[in-house]
Amino acid sequence: MRITTDTGRCVGAGQCVLTAPQVFDQDDDGLVTLLLAEPGAGEESAVRLAAGLCPSRAVTVHED
Interface residues toward ligand SF4, by CB under 6 A: 5, 10-16, 26, 32, 54-56, 58-59
CB of 19 to ligand SF4, least distance (A): 8
Bridge partners for 33 per DSSP: 25
CB of 39 to ligand SF4, least distance (A): 15
CB of 31 to ligand SF4, least distance (A): 6
For 5-38, give one letter per residue: b (16+ CB within 10 A) or e: beeeebeebebbbebbeebbeeeeeebbeeeeee
Q: Which is nearer to ligand SF4, 15 or 39 (CB)?
A: 15
